[in-house]
Amino acid sequence: MASRLNPLTTLTAAAAVLVITTAASSWAVSLTFAASAVLLAAVTGTARRVLLAAGVILAPFWLSLLVMHGLFFPEGRTVLASWGPARITTEGLGFAVDMGLRTAAFVVVLLLFSFSVRVPELVSSLAALRLPPQFGYVLASTLMLAPIIAARLEKVRQAQESRGLVVEKGLGSRLGAARLQMVPLVLGLVHDAGIRAQALDARGFRRPGPRTSYTQVHDSPAQRGFRILAALLAAAAVAVRIAASLSGGGQA
């Protein structure tokens, strides 16, 4: 099924799922998307690889969430059990479950896309949009490393929290925390992109002149309509989230 879909369709669907999951910030939405991605992986025959890779990535991540937030959540008020400085709180467990399921949805969706997309078809589809071929190859390689990027972002977040970063519910606090976490992440990604760019330059990808693609990628009006709808749904989810945050901040 995935081979008959245009790579731009699956890419748009994956990006929309990530945006909607982040905007919704709900464990039920994250669980729904993660379960749906597992079902699609079973249909496409990639379930075993997706689940094995997701388990390797998520197992230490969930364990760190349980230790850091399940036992040492600073905003926890409802104490279920305590051992010295360690306290199991309802708020800490809820935060750990929410973050764990959200990250699980990210990882499973990106792994499903990575294991189902064909890089030559993705590059050819992006070239049809008049994008340079370097962009297609860098994007494809980045998407293949997306779960690793998610794990790196979690390490950055843990390092910031160990230095005293506290993320509150307000929009301003979340944006400030995101800035502190994004800067080291982006710097690392830029370094990795520079290494990939050097490899592409060595293969002549910056040479001018017309280029011929020998890969024919299927597309249809229905898929183009789906991509527009998915983008609109993602934008609507972000708009609703921002409006809700501003409304809550104004009432406070």
Confidence of residue 217 (pLDDT cuts 50, 70, 90): confident
Q: How far apart are CA 103 and CA 158, in angstroms?
A: 14
Above 70 in pLDDT, residue 172?
A: no
Structure tokens that stand for 240 in this block: 């609703």
Which DSSP string corresponds to 34-71? HHHHHHHHHHHT-HHHHHHHHHHHHHHHHHHHIIIIIS
Residues forming a β-bridge with 86: 83
| 8 Å CB contact between 112 and 28 | no
Evaluate if residue 156 carries a pLDDT over 90.
no
Q: What CA–CA distance (Å, rounded) separates 171 from 252?
A: 12
pLDDT at 173: 56
Place of tokens 């010295």: 84
Sequence letter at residue 231: A
Residues 6+ apart with CB under 8 A from 38: 47, 50, 51, 108
Lowest-confidence pick of 117-121, 176-180, 181-185: 176-180
Question: What's the whole-number mean pLDDT along residues 172-194?
Answer: 67
Average pLDDT of 154-168? 66
C-beta of residue 188 within 8 angstroms of C-beta of residue 152: yes
Sign of CA dihedral 23, 28, 29, 33: positive
pLDDT, tens only, 7-42: 889 989 999 999 999 998 888 999 999 999 999 999
Residue 171 has what pLDDT? 56
pLDDT number for residue 165: 60
- How confident is the prediction for the chain on average, in pLDDT? 77
Angle of CA points 78, 80, 81, to nearest 5°: 130
Percentage, residues of the chain above pLDDT 90:
21
More confident residue, 10 or 163: 10
227-238 average pLDDT score = 94
**φ, ψ of residue 62 in degrees (nearest 5):** -65, -40
pLDDT tens for 37-93 read 999 999 988 888 888 888 878 888 888 888 777 777 777 677 777 777 777 888 888
Residue 251 — very low, low, confident or very high, per pLDDT cuts 50/70/90? very low
All structural domains of the chain with their residue ranges: 2-205
How sure is the predictor about 118, in pLDDT bands with cuts at 50, 70 and 90?
confident
- 163 pLDDT band, cuts 50/70/90, is low
Q: Give the model's pLDDT for residue 34.
A: 93
Distances (CA, A) of 189 to 22, 96, 206, 236: 21, 26, 21, 28
Burial group, residue 164, by CB count within 10 angstroms (0-12, 13-18, 19+): exposed
Q: What is the pLDDT of residue 93?
A: 82
| Confidence band, pLDDT 50/70/90 cuts, at residue 222 | very high
Residue 205: the pLDDT is 62
Band the pLDDT of 157: cuts 50, 70, 90: confident
